[in-house]
Structure 1
Amino acid sequence: MEAEELKIFVDNHVFDDYTAKQVRIISAAIDVFARKGYANSSTHEIAVEAGVAEGNIFSKFGSKHGLLEAIVQPVVESIFPATINAFISDRFVSDYQTLRDFFGTVLHDRAKFVRANAKVLRILIAELVYNQSVRDQVIKNVPAGYLIALNTKLNQLKATGELVNWDNRDILRMILSVAGGFLASTLFFDFQATPTMEDHLITALTKALTPDNH
């Protein structure tokens, strides 16, 4: 696994108390879980990929499920909220002149994040689908300021006549259904998104949510 793919763990100090061997185990587990899925993976193949004895996995993480939790829990409890807060600070403070500017900045930013963290996100999304407790934790850990900032930005775009005057929840459903499908295809079907394709997505959302088209 490339060091860049572990950057979000390093930046959020997840590995501060880990040995180099334990970091290799986490890295190998992310590779194997993302490639084969949790259910189809074994601690033996993770140990082989990490270049350690299988007992090293059990001594630190207890079980395969403990290893999964060591990946997912930091993402849900600290990395996810920190990433959202950084996103708010970086992207939601600007006064976007057009709806396309808004979608262009936000979606290019998120697409870049997804590409950089594709393996971890595959594992997290699989857990979100099958594990209610993980879904509950994600909802609980969404920073309160995120929804406030998002609603504020949508309302500003409505006030300038750039955004269709729908309920914000309906607008978000539209964005998630279109952008979410695009991003999911890059995560689970090895669909190689290009900047041109991202531009097409931005154009489609802009057209769908521009008042003149309704």
Structure 2
Amino acid sequence: MKSTKSLKDIINASNMDSDMTEKQINILSAAIELFSEKGYEATATSEIAKKAQVAEGTIFRYYKTKKELLFAIPKALSKVSLFEIFLEDFNEILNDEHDNFEDFLRKIIMNRKKFVSETAPILKVIIQEVPFHPELRSKILNTVIFPSTENGISIIEKFKLKNQIVDMPSTTIINLIITSIFGYLFVHYIALPELPENEQDLEYLIQYILNGIGQNSTLKNTPR
């Protein structure tokens, strides 16, 4: 069974001073889990109240409508620095010295698998809401995407100098790696968690990426 972290777990782990009450945190944690499992429309506030162990009226003391509760989730996630947590151990890998591209790739995949599997319900709600919240999208771009891409490009350049990966534009290589890894993790842990996962699948994913951008790739002579 996959172990996941709730909003409450993340708040406790981040040691942040939250302006939310314990009941609010429990309500939002319950809403995230149920919206992720059943979808927003199919989830009743009575179910959220039961899971949060509060009276249904307590929800409406904090949030006038179910929609207001939904919109409170991205705001809460922004406050708890989920995106900084996303990068915390990831940056350790990026900042390490790596002699071998395959080993680097394996560390990245295993690290992101752990993060996505632990925070799948929260990530699912974020993905659902990002199109409707420009401020959330901006925060993701500025605190996650841009910094990690910048660090990733410098690493890719080093492996290109070592002739371990093809001489393609580094931004293209980063995009291909991200698409492959997060496409796989999205399907298995967010979109279709019931899908059977072979223990060798991640190894196949590594080889799939290496065959595409490794030095033996047929893409190495592709016009730039």
What range describes the TM-score normalised by the shorter chain of this pair? 0.7 to 0.9
Q: CA offset at residue 120 of structure 1?
A: 0.5
Q: CA offset at residue 71 of structure 1?
A: 2.6
Matched, 1:59 2:61: yes
Task: Work out which of the residue numbers 109, 120, 123 in structure 2 matches 1:118.
Answer: 120
Q: 3-state DSSP class of the match of 1:142?
A: helix
Identity %: 26
Quote the RMSD (CA, aligned, Å): 2.4
Q: Which residue of 1 aligns with 2:161?
A: 159
- State the distance in 2 between where 1:8 and 1:156 align: 35
- Is there any run of 5+ residues in structure 1 with no aligned partner, and where? none
- State the distance in 1 between where 2:114 and 2:175 align: 21
| Cα separation, partners in 2 of 1:170 and 1:70, compared to 1, 3 Å | same
Q: Which residue of 2 aligns with 1:173?
A: 175
Q: 3-state DSSP class of the match of 1:211?
A: coil
The 5 A counterparts of 1:68-83 are 68-76=70-78, 78-83=81-86
| Cα separation, partners in 2 of 1:21 and 1:3, compared to 1, 3 Å | farther
> Are the equivalent residues in 1 in contact too, given 2:160–2:166 (CA < 8 A)?
yes
- State the distance in 1 between where 2:67 and 2:12 align: 22
Q: Which residue of 1 aligns with 2:208?
A: 204
Q: CA offset at residue 168 of structure 1?
A: 1.8
Q: CA offset at residue 46 of structure 1?
A: 1.0
> Are the equivalent residues in 1 in contact too, given 2:101–2:159 (CA < 8 A)?
yes
| Cα separation, partners in 2 of 1:132 and 1:67, compared to 1, 3 Å | closer
Q: Which residue of 2 aligns with 1:188?
A: 191
Matched, 1:87 2:90: yes
- State the distance in 1 between where 2:198 and 2:68 align: 36
TM-score by length of 1: 0.85
> Are the equivalent residues in 1 in contact too, given 2:98–2:104 (CA < 8 A)?
yes
Q: 3-state DSSP class of the match of 2:98?
A: coil
Q: Which residue of 1 aligns with 2:221?
A: none
TM-score by length of 2: 0.82
The alignment covers a number of residue pairs equal to: 211
Q: CA offset at residue 96 of structure 1?
A: 1.6
Deviations, residues 116-152 of structure 1 (Å, cap 9, x unaligned): 1111111111113x42513334223337543331111
